């Protein structure tokens, strides 16, 4: 982690090869994506219900539980009834990488408002046990409301600071969807077009370094950790994964995905990261015409 971080998206020019496409996507309005709640309805049934109301839905070949539309779909009976969750397609990637299975013991360490928690519960078919942890009381209310609306009955909510989550029985899967500078959400939050501030990046990197270590220590041997953010800053992404690799018996499980993406960087601002870090993913707004993010999948080895 460096002492001086220049601000502004421009600092990523050298690591984003399709720079003009990136900038154009950052300036375009965002489409509306929704994830079908497969605990309650099949994708084609939901599609028929919404299309009957004049809401056309596009599909993603590689992710059949998501649809895309240009129309507002937040105020339908189907939404209130928990038949779907409004969530950008880029948010599906960390959960697909986690690959939680029915019957497993799973921890979502930074869970509110519950977009990924409810996706995990659906992939677990409501079987096994999912702990959704969120220390912020106000955000925890939103998490509880979403768990309830979606009917994620295998889920229980905890309220620790992630770095203090009690060590105990090993989890099969841990998701650390860390608090971050959120540059990848700039299409929803225009103030982020200027890039994150240097002090914010430094402060968040300190928290992320603690969260990834605790998340990893909560795994059983052979269990998987997914570390994800919605930001571009290598100080919050590759540097945090490198921090873990230097301190624990951890192995990166390289990710291969069926859509355009970039590999993680192995050097930034004069710092070199272990070469295995290249097995992590960077997703920019032009890749999925969605938000941006970073995803790493890591196994705990004996």
Ligand X SMILES: C[S@@+](CC[C@H](N)C(=O)[O-])C[C@H]1O[C@@H](n2cnc3c(N)ncnc32)[C@H](O)[C@@H]1O
Contact by Cβ (8 Å): 250, 218: no
Stretch that binds ligand X, among 30-38, 108-116, 253-261, 275-283 (CB under 6 A): 108-116
Contact by Cβ (8 Å): 214, 227: no
Stretch that binds ligand X, among 13-21, 34-42, 62-70, 128-136 (CB under 6 A): 128-136
3-state secondary structure at position 77: helix
Residue 214 sits in the site that holds ligand X (CB under 6 A): no
**Residues paired with residue 273 on neighbouring β-strands, in sequence order:** none
User: Out of 100, 113, 234, 293, which residue is the one contacting ligand X (CB under 6 A)?
Assistant: 113
Stretch that binds ligand X, among 18-26, 68-76, 104-112, 272-280 (CB under 6 A): 104-112
Catalytic (active site) residue 230 = yes
Dist CA 153 CA 158 (whole Å): 15
Residue 101 sits in the site that holds ligand X (CB under 6 A): no
Q: Per-residue contact track with ligand X, 129 to 168, x per CB under 6 A? A: -----xxx--x---------------------xxx-----
Strands, sheet with 58-59, edge to edge from the N-terminal-most edge strand = 58-59, 66-69, 32-36, 84-86
- List 26, 230, 263, 280, catalytic entry: 230
Dist CA 281 CA 108 (whole Å): 20
Other CB atoms closer than 10 Å to residue 80's CB: what's the count? 10
User: Out of 34, 39, 107, 112, which residue is the one contacting ligand X (CB under 6 A)?
Assistant: 112
Dist CA 47 CA 41 (whole Å): 10
Active site residues: 230
Binding site for ligand X (CB under 6 A): 91, 109-116, 134-136, 139, 161-163, 177, 179, 207, 211
């Amino acid at each position: 982690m460096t002492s001086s971080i220049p601000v502004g998206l421009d600092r990523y020019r050298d690591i984003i090869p399709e720079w003009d496409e990136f900038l154009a996507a950052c300036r375009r309005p965002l489409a509306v994506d929704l994830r079908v709640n497969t605990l309650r309805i099949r994708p084609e049934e939901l599609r028929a219900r919404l299309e009957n109301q004049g809401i056309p839905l596009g599909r993603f070949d590689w992710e059949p539980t998501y649809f895309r539309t240009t129309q507002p779909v937040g105020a339908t009976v189907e939404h209130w009834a928990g038949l779907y969750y409004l969530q950008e397609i880029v948010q599906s990637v960390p959960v697909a990488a986690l690959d939680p299975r029915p019957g497993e013991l799973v921890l979502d360490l930074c869970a509110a408002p519950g977009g990924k928690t409810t996706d995990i519960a659906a992939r677990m078919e409501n079987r096994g046990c999912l702990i959704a942890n969120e220390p912020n009381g106000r955000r925890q209310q939103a998490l509880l409301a979403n768990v309830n609306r979606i009917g994620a009955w295998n889920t229980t909510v905890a309220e620790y600071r992630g770095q203090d989550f009690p060590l105990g029985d090993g989890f099969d899967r841990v998701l650390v969807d860390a608090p971050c500078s959120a540059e990848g959400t700039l299409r929803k939050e225009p103030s982020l077009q200027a890039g994150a501030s240097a002090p914010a990046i430094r402060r968040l990197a300190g928290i992320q370094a603690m969260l990834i270590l605790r998340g990893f220590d909560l795994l059983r041997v052979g269990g998987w950790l997914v570390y994800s953010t919605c930001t571009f800053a290598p100080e919050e992404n590759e540097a945090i994964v490198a921090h873990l690799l230097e301190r624990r018996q951890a192995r990166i499980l390289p990710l291969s995905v069926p859509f355009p993406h970039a590999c993680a960087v192995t050097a930034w601002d004069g710092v070199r990261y272990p070469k295995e870090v290249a097995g992590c993913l960077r997703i920019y707004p032009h890749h999925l015409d969605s938000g941006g993010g970073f995803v790493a999948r890591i196994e705990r080895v004996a």
